[in-house]
Structure 1
Amino acid sequence: MKLTVLVPALAGLLFAGSALANTQVEVTTPYVAQLIDGKPINPALLDKTSSFPLTAGNHQLVIAFEGNYSSRNEIKLVTAEPLVINFTAADNQKLVLDYKKPRNETEAKQFIKDQKVTLKDKVSGQTVTSEQFVMPKVEGFQLTRDYQQELINMDKAFNQPKSVAVSSAAVIAAASAPVQVAPSKAQSNPEALTQLQNWYNKADTETRKAFQIWVIQQQ
């Protein structure tokens, strides 16, 4: 008798567990996922598509435009400040970014002025309502950026800590203030430095050259 009751109960638990993350969001180049629900993403350098499982409910996706339109003779990189997308996902959705993908450097530079992106269900084709904003630009050379901390300072983070209270004036001042990074700063964050080195080692020759030029231009 106990076994008869236990089997359906276990089956119900297994079904519930399989339904916890039956929704996913797909991010394709030139966009790269930076944060999902406040947690940093470490995408493989050469992946063209990254899919991330989600549960039904509220989510926050932070993506960055990293367009590479280089040729053998010329390096052309187009980047933009991260785009934050707040949305609510339903069960069994396959969400994708819908936008007019730039074909060249000129179109990319025009596109990042507004970053007109919508979130759509790949199966139904319906647009998912979302709230979007572009993160403020941080001046000065940045080896790495803590996007989650920046969002917390702006009072716009996923699961925003209640103890954090920052005025809008302070946020604007902090975002516009130049940031100077001392040479020894990288050593204070060995994990970030190791991650950067791993990505660099995995990159091909052209990508390494592009990165080197970008670093020089930021100095």
Structure 2
Amino acid sequence: MKLTVLLPALAGMVWGNVALADATLEVMPPYVLQLLDGHGVNAKLLEKSHNVRLQDGKHQLVVSFEGNYSTRNETKLVTAEPLVFNFESSNGQKLTLDYKKPRSESEAREFTKVQDVQLKDKVTGQQLQSDRFVMPKVEGFQLTRDYQQELLAMGKAFNQPKTVAVPTAAVMAASNNEPLQVAPTKAQSSPEALTQLQEWYNKADAETRKAFQIWIIQQQQ
């Protein structure tokens, strides 16, 4: 009698735990996860698994397209301005980016003109409702970009503070979707960072140096 009552109770606990499992988000190349809820994600963890866990609720995702279509004889890199998704997840969802993956450099350049990308739940096969936009292009060379600071300046950051000093020019650029002028941060103008970059460049092989030079040129276009 006791066993008959206990088994359904245990089964209910097991199924309850499955139903309450956190949602997961998968970001696969050529897209790279830059920010999740205003924070960067450990790159070493992403190397082992392209999945991150999401608690039930609202989230903000920032991803960037970084396609490598190089051959032995030629370096071909295609990049695009970051995409931002504001969405709400539910327990048990398996979210991924839904788009037609470019197979060549020409396809990638055509694709990045629009970046038709949506969030999709693998469990239901349905697209997830989200508010998405492309971040404005930043003029001038940037050694690194602080995406969170840019979003704060636009008034579109995750859990945007109500009292943030935002330059008028930055607000106008964001509202008109114009290139955003961002002043260098301490990290961007750090002599230590420049020295480290020079050391990496000097240690790199010829192919890597060429790829880096092309990337630098692309950032100034």
Q: Same fold (TM over 0.5)?
A: yes
Q: Is 1:211–2:208 an aligned residue pair?
A: no
Contact 2:31 2:65 in 1 (8 A): yes
Gapped regions of structure 1 (runs ≥ 5) = 1-11
Gapped regions of structure 2 (runs ≥ 5) = 1-12
Mapping of residues 1-219 of structure 1, within 5 Å: 22-44=22-44, 47=47, 50-164=50-164, 166=166, 170-173=170-173, 176=179, 185-187=188-190, 190=193, 206-215=207-216, 218=219
State the alpha-carbon separation in 2 of the partners of residues 200 and 34 from structure 1. Answer: 23
In the alignment of these two chains, the number of paired residues is 202
State the alpha-carbon separation in 2 of the partners of residues 203 and 116 from structure 1. Answer: 35
Q: Which runs of 4+ in 1 moved over 3 A?
A: 18-21, 44-49, 165-170, 172-182, 196-209, 216-219
Question: Residue 142 of structure 1: CA displacement?
Answer: 0.6
Which segment is superposed worse, 23-32 or 163-172? 163-172
Go from structure 1 to structure 2 and tell me whether the alpha carbon gap of 1:32 and 1:164 turns closer, same or farther (over 3 Å shift).
same
State the alpha-carbon separation in 2 of the partners of residues 70 and 36 from structure 1. Answer: 29
Question: Residue 24 of structure 1: CA displacement?
Answer: 0.9
State the alpha-carbon separation in 1 of the partners of residues 105 and 149 from structure 2. Answer: 31
State the alpha-carbon separation in 1 of the partners of residues 34 and 218 from structure 2. Answer: 23
State the alpha-carbon separation in 1 of the partners of residues 213 and 90 from structure 2. Answer: 42
State the alpha-carbon separation in 1 of the partners of residues 139 and 81 from structure 2. Answer: 11
Which segment is superposed worse, 173-182 or 110-119? 173-182
What percent of counterpart residues are identical?
61
Partner of 2:138: helix, strand, or coil? coil
Partner of 2:215: helix, strand, or coil? helix
Question: Residue 123 of structure 1: CA displacement?
Answer: 1.6
Question: Residue 186 of structure 1: CA displacement?
Answer: 3.8
Q: Which amino acid aligns with 1:215?
A: I
Q: Deviations over 1:123-145 (max 9, x none)?
A: 22111101100000001111111
State the alpha-carbon separation in 2 of the partners of residues 144 and 78 from structure 1. Answer: 17
Partner of 1:40: helix, strand, or coil? coil
Go from structure 1 to structure 2 and tell me whether the alpha carbon gap of 1:166 and 1:179 turns closer, same or farther (over 3 Å shift).
closer
Q: Which amino acid aligns with 1:101?
A: K
How high is the TM-score relative to the length of structure 1? 0.76
Contact 2:142 2:188 in 1 (8 A): no
Question: Residue 41 of structure 1: CA displacement?
Answer: 2.4
Go from structure 1 to structure 2 and tell me whether the alpha carbon gap of 1:55 and 1:200 turns closer, same or farther (over 3 Å shift).
farther
